[in-house]
Amino acid sequence: MDRTKRYGAEFLGTLLLVFFGVGSAIAGRVEGGVVVVALAFGLVLLALVYALGPVSGCHVNPAVTLGALLAGRTNLADAIGYWLTQFAGAIVGAFILFGLTRWGGVTDQTGALGTNGYGLHINLGGTMVLEIVLTFLLVLVVLVVTTRTENAGFAGLAIGIALAACHLVGIPLDGTSVNPARSLGPAVFEGGTALSQLWVFLVFPLIGGLLAAAALPLVLGEGWRYRADVNSTPTRRLRRQSE
């Protein structure tokens, strides 16, 4: 697949994830509550996996790309390209939301452009642990379901449910990052505390992704080898062939 198409898909996918996911918090956090926002994140990712997965794998998350890189599912050059386009897409998506709240008459129900933060319901140490655990779950699910061949058609559903579950737990505590790009975009335009705390939501989701890649062989078991890319078919080597 042409790199321009893949990078473009990651840019567009991350833009849409931020716009619909963070946008649901901005427009409906008070009226809809945690469940509505969590479902919005999960459903938009589910849709994007099926729409963009055949093009780029639909990482739309630097932590997922890091996990794929460490698992041998992509190369460093492509990972860098994905990271750049993911962050760019998130910034553009956040800018659209910023414009709607600044000039479009939309009331920001989060009061902070849907940014992540700690201090009110969770402290710094708790946020570090939370983001590692939640991102570990998300990235592990992504890597496992896109590696196994059984029920491959349901991979998008599993990924969407995993993201929604992460948000159900994390939204009341730190707003849920599990995605450095999602955190960066709104923080750029909100500034202040959101920007000063941003480093936490850049670093610790990546650690969660790293740990997920490290745990993947334990989950898949013996005999599995990783796909060369997210679109190829995984193969299982017979035990006698490896002996």
- According to the model, what pLDDT value does residue 153 have? 85
Q: What is the mean pLDDT of residues 219-226?
A: 64
Amino acid at 129: V
pLDDT tens per residue across span 80-105: 999 999 999 999 999 999 999 999 99
- Mean pLDDT of all residues in 190-203: 97
CB 180 within 8 A of CB 84: no
Where residue 1 falls among pLDDT bands split at 50, 70, 90? low
Q: What is the mean pLDDT of residues 155-165?
A: 97
Is residue 163 very low, low, confident or very high in pLDDT (cuts 50, 70, 90)?
Answer: very high
Query: Is 61's pLDDT higher than 60?
Result: yes
Cβ 186 vs Cβ 108: under 8 Å: no
Residue type, 153: G
- 243 has pLDDT over 80: no
Domains of the chain: residue spans and CATH: 3-231 (1.20.1080.10)
* Contact assessment for residue 158 and residue 145, using Cβ atoms and an 8 Å cutoff: yes
The reported pTM is 0.90
| Residue 224, pLDDT score | 54
Higher pLDDT, 81 or 242: 81
pLDDT higher than 60, residue 239: no
Tell me the per-residue pLDDT of 25-45, one tens digit each, with 9 for 90 and over.
Answer: 999 989 899 999 999 999 999
